[in-house]
Amino acid sequence: MLAQAGSSPTGRAFAATYGDLVLSMQPTVAAARRFSGESKDLAADNGRRPAPVKILSNTALVLGRSQDEADERLALLDSLVDPVPGLESLSVLLFHDVTGYPLDEPLPGIPVTESGSTGVQQHFLALVREQGLTLRQAMQVSARAGARAFSARAFADHVEKYVTTGAADGFNLVFADLGPSLDVLAAEVVPELRRRGLFRSGYRGATLRENLGLPRPSSP
């Protein structure tokens, strides 16, 4: 099984030719729908059946049983970010040295480069522009990999919206606080998704490929 992450033209062409799973990091559900449709169209242009090419929304999050609980844990994580390693990490992510800018002023315009992950840069800079983040806030968001706070029900709604509108076939989850959020996922989110008919109750195959509904072999 081949998974591809990256939104550059080269990465997307590779995924259209060889990929079984394509990881997508998009700022809105509308952008995710465009990415998904274009990726499946590219696969079809390469002589492949588009349906088995699965688009996974790469989603970083903090989960709480309530929204207040999730917001509080996200705020705690932000408060723990030290500016020295935080700014160094942000500079690496953006491929631009931001260590000399004022911490509590808006992050200045920074161009997307051809170095590193173009998709990650585009996603993060779009987030900065849309939310008008200061450098300190951008550093905090970067330290938690862009994670957002969701209540269990709000995240179930998020999943439903993506999979029922064609924005994604599934999700690759990244937890900013693994233990507490994973507990909420197992105890609250999965049962809710099962009630909505959006999550399996058993496995249909003996391999990961079979359980994801991927054909064999993976080549065109």
Q: What value does the mean pLDDT take over residues 61-82? A: 96
CA distance 172 to 115: 24
According to the model, what pLDDT value does residue 175 have? 95
Residue type, 167: A
Q: What is the pLDDT of residues 99-136, one digit of tens each?
A: 989 999 988 888 777 666 677 787 788 888 888 889 99
Share of the chain above pLDDT 90, in %: 66
Helix (H, G, I), strand (E, B) or coil at 209: helix
Q: Between the CA atoms of 172, 178, 181 and 185, what dihedral angle is there, to the nearest 10 degrees?
A: 50
pLDDT digits (tens, 9 = 90+) for 206-218: 999 999 888 876 5
Domains in the chain: ranges and CATH? 3-61+152-211 (3.20.20.30), 68-148 (no CATH)
The pLDDT tens digits for 19-38 are 999 998 888 899 999 999 99
- Model confidence at 151, in pLDDT bands (50, 70, 90)? very high
Tokens of 156: 């179930």
Q: What is the SS3 assignment for 19?
A: coil
Confidence of residue 183 (pLDDT cuts 50, 70, 90): very high
Backbone dihedral region of 47: left (phi > 0), alpha (psi from -120 to 50 degrees) or beta? left
Give the separation between CA 90 and CA 100, rounded to whole angstroms.
12
Q: Is the pLDDT assigned to residue 220 strictly greater than 50?
A: no
Given a cut of 50, is residue 181 above it in pLDDT? yes
